[in-house]
Amino acid sequence: MLLPPPRRSTFLFLLAAIAACGTASQAWAKKHQPVRITVKGAEFRAYPVAVPDVTAYPDGDSRAAAAAMTDLLRYDVDLARTFELVPVNTYLADNKPKAGPPAYGAWQATGASGLILGEARVVAGQMTLALRFDDVTAGKTLLTRTCSAAPAAGARCVHQFLDAVIAQLTGEDGVFSSRIAYVRRVGNVKAIYGADVDGGNPEKMVQSGALSLLPAWGAAGRALYFTSYIAGGSHLYRLSTPTGRIDSVSARQGLNVGAALSPDGRRVALTLTVDGNSEIYVMDVDGKNLTRLTNNLALDVSPTWSPDGKRIAFVSNRSGNPHIYVMQADGSNVRRLTFRGTYNQEPDWSPRADGFIAFTARDESLHYDLFLVHPETSEMIRLTQDSANNVSPSFSPDGQSIAFVSDRDPNNRGQVYVMDADGQHVRAISPGVTDCETPAWGPRLGY
């Protein structure tokens, strides 16, 4: 039996009821929406990370490997500017590794925000290292990595893991895959060496027995430019880091020194005296298409590129004393940058877009120290003081750290040090490796 069609009044009543319900529900939803407040102005601090002992299988080789990896993890966490190592003596007894999830509450009580756990096992000379990074606040694992390598090569596993953790936390890769090249005098010969950023895996990079100076990394770290007297004169060479092959890049008359690669890796700025005076030139990486940028009776040396490749900072004594100058990459618009001090040199431009230029300056006590100068405002900041001589700054690829040479340790003069870009947390990367000069912090090499 069919129902009779609804009356018009009924239909209108239903419409009104639906509209009323909709309005009421909207009003209810609005009334019960959470209140929103804004919190801004965060404080920036190092991310505290706890690193308990890496566990080991119960055999001698595994235990030794675990101990070595524990030491390396703690050293590198302490080295990384993003992290702060939670002191080991604050770890509570029940934080020792055991089966089951970590006691996040207890770790949080030590002040840790992150936790690194590891397990090492050595079988037939091969180490398997399992590492894990936990967010203590959230109480969950964020990252796990397992690496297999000889125990002596375990550093690569640790570096790769830490770079991944830093990338996860900050959105930017860590710099543990990069290397620092430096000149070291051994006996009567100065040669170019390289080491990890924590000083590990040191090696002689340029095998030539000739005097080699002023290393400068090429793009992606596959080439290292340096000045050497291989052929008797001060010429510019390029070392292919994968193959070890050395090629001549510039053998022009006079000096060919102080190479600096452009950010895009296509051009080299350097100092030549081919025209009778020290001037800044730019050429292609193969040495062709030479362009002179400066034309001044003064000495113009030590070029360094801005991160966008549009400007070059350099040293000139055209005002009477060596000071830092800036010019466009075509040599135009030369502008003096430093007006304080009497002997400013060795500029290195930070790779960060908002970064400063680091340089060496001699102060009134005739000691050399490191400074920063803003490329626009000439604002100057001092980084070192009252620590003997500190020279030759070189920024890390993320611009957060600076490598330099110091003789602050009277028993180990000329060691390579690394510090935060604000001058804090100074530490020697290779304690006992002395008589070093002009460190050059290379790009990330990846894994």
Partner 1 sequence: MFASGNSKPTVGRMVLLSALLHGAIVLGLWLGDVFAARWAPAPKQVMTARLVRLGPARKPDMLPTLAAPAKPNGPKKIAPQVPPKPPAPDAAAAAPVASAPSKADSLAARAKTQSALERLRKIAAGAPDGDEAGDADSAEAGERYYALVKQCTQDHWVLPQGLSPALLAGRKGLVLLRIDPTGKIINYRITQKSGLQAYDSAMEYAVSLCKKVPPPPPELRQGLRTAGIEINFEP
Residue 66 and residue 206: Cα distance in Å, rounded? 34
Residue (116 or 230) nearer to partner 1, CB:
116
Helix or strand (DSSP H, E) at 25: helix 8-31
Residue (44 or 125) nearer to partner 1, CB:
44
Q: How far is the CB of 71 from partner 1 (least distance, A)?
A: 24
Residue (285 or 357) nearer to partner 1, CB:
357
Q: How far is the CB of 18 from partner 1 (least distance, A)?
A: 25
Question: Is the Cα dihedral 329, 334, 335, 339 positive or negative?
Answer: positive
Residue (256 or 306) nearer to partner 1, CB:
306
The closest alpha carbon to 195, from 179, 178, 214, belongs to 179
**Close Cβ partners of 288 (under 8 Å, ≥ 6 residues apart):** none
Q: How far is the CB of 14 from partner 1 (least distance, A)?
A: 31
Residue (39 or 93) nearer to partner 1, CB:
39
The DSSP string of 133-161 is EEETTTTEEEEEEEEEE-GGGHHHHHHHH
Q: How far is the CB of 239 from partner 1 (least distance, A)?
A: 31
Residue (194 or 399) nearer to partner 1, CB:
399
Q: Based on the number of CB atoms within 10 Å of its own CB, is 164 exposed (0-12), middle (13-18) or buried (19 or more)?
A: buried
Q: How far is the CB of 104 from partner 1 (least distance, A)?
A: 11
Residue (36 or 288) nearer to partner 1, CB:
36
**Close Cβ partners of 327 (under 8 Å, ≥ 6 residues apart):** 293, 294, 311, 312, 314, 333, 334, 335
Q: How far is the CB of 43 from partner 1 (least distance, A)?
A: 5
Residue (190 or 323) nearer to partner 1, CB:
323
CB atoms within 10 A of CB 227: 26
Q: How far is the CB of 409 from partner 1 (least distance, A)?
A: 19
Q: Between 154-170 and 60-79, two packed helices, what is the crossing angle to 10 degrees?
A: 40
* Partners of 374 in beta bridges: none
Residue ranges in contact with partner 1 by CB under 8 A: 32-47, 81-82, 113, 135, 137-138, 142, 168-172, 339-341, 352-354, 361, 363-364, 369, 371, 380-382, 384-385, 398, 400, 423
Strand pairing category for 83-85 and 47-50: parallel
Residue (67 or 381) nearer to partner 1, CB:
381
Q: How far is the CB of 398 from partner 1 (least distance, A)?
A: 7
Does residue 394 come out as left (phi exceeding 0), alpha (psi in the -120 to 50 range) or beta?
Answer: beta
Residue 4 and residue 172: Cα distance in Å, rounded? 71
* Partners of 439 in beta bridges: none
Q: How far is the CB of 346 from partner 1 (least distance, A)?
A: 15
